[in-house]
Structure 1
Amino acid sequence: MFRSLLATSRRHALVLIPLALLLVSACGIVWYSRVGVAASIAHIGTPTATVADATDDADSGITILLDLARDAMRDGRLVAPQGSNAFEFYLSVLQLDPSNLTAQEALRETFPRAAVEIEGTINGGELEEARREIDLLREFDRDNFTLALLGGKLSAARNILTRQHEMEAARIQATVGRAM
């Protein structure tokens, strides 16, 4: 009799355990959906708060970028290094707020100094960095004559460098040819 009772309780357990798990899952789903609906209803009444929060976030982002740009200017990081210079910070402000007068005026005022820095970069032989810096300034003023001049100077510097490399290669070939 004990064996039959044991076999019956095993069969009942095989049925009752999945049934209990199903019931617990259903209760969890109902509870979760009610909590989600309540949270959604709470947010429906305050759409302006969400828009205001987004505006505050953008304003604080602009303020941070303007502070970073001022620090970069003070530290002499006008167009270099990449990712941490005043010009990039001011351009980022304009991406967030195209009508930001502070960024527009700062870019306009620093443009001539940036052009002088780029010329020094070209003269120093850092041609790839000069290309990046010229492209950076073009983001602000694409049709500037000064940038056209700097682009010409960069092209001439590249041509000179190419000729120097060709002459060096010819010299090496001549030296190897004489050694054979």
Structure 2
Amino acid sequence: MDHSTHATAHTDHGDGAVTWSTAVRATLHCLTGCAIGEILGMVVATALGWGNVATTVLAIALAFVFGYSLTLFAVRRAGLDLRAAVKVALAADSVSIAVMELVDNGIVVFTPGAMEAQLSDGLFWSTLLGGFVIAFLITTPVNRWMIGRGKGHAVVHAYH
């Protein structure tokens, strides 16, 4: 099945109207990588006593690394060479990860006291996890729109 046929197979009527289920699955995939990287970055940086900017930069960087890695490993298992797999991962996940990171980090940054919270504080975890939930709710329609146009996570479906 070629890329455009496969992307169309994930639509309701073949007119670019992607099912919410497909968008949710794509967003959960993205959220998994982002959450692993971001939580790891926040925990490490907070434990080391890093400042807010360094903590945020590390968390975002690791979110992208882990987010891309999940797709990269999946398409490599499907037989793509490394160069092609990197291109697919970048095309599939860049916008989704960027939106998710903008939203969830914005929530953490703008929640009073969240950036000063320690690992043992409920505010640390509730803000971080709450940010993921809100980011998921905002990123899902973005992914649905992109998949309906053959972009974003739609490019990876040809390799599943």
* Greater relative contact order, per chain length (Cα 8 Å cut-off, separation 6+): 2
Determine which structure has more spread, i.e. the larger CA radius of gyration: 1
Structure 1 or 2: more helix by fraction: 1
Q: TM-score, normalised by structure 2?
A: 0.25
Q: TM-score, normalised by structure 1?
A: 0.23
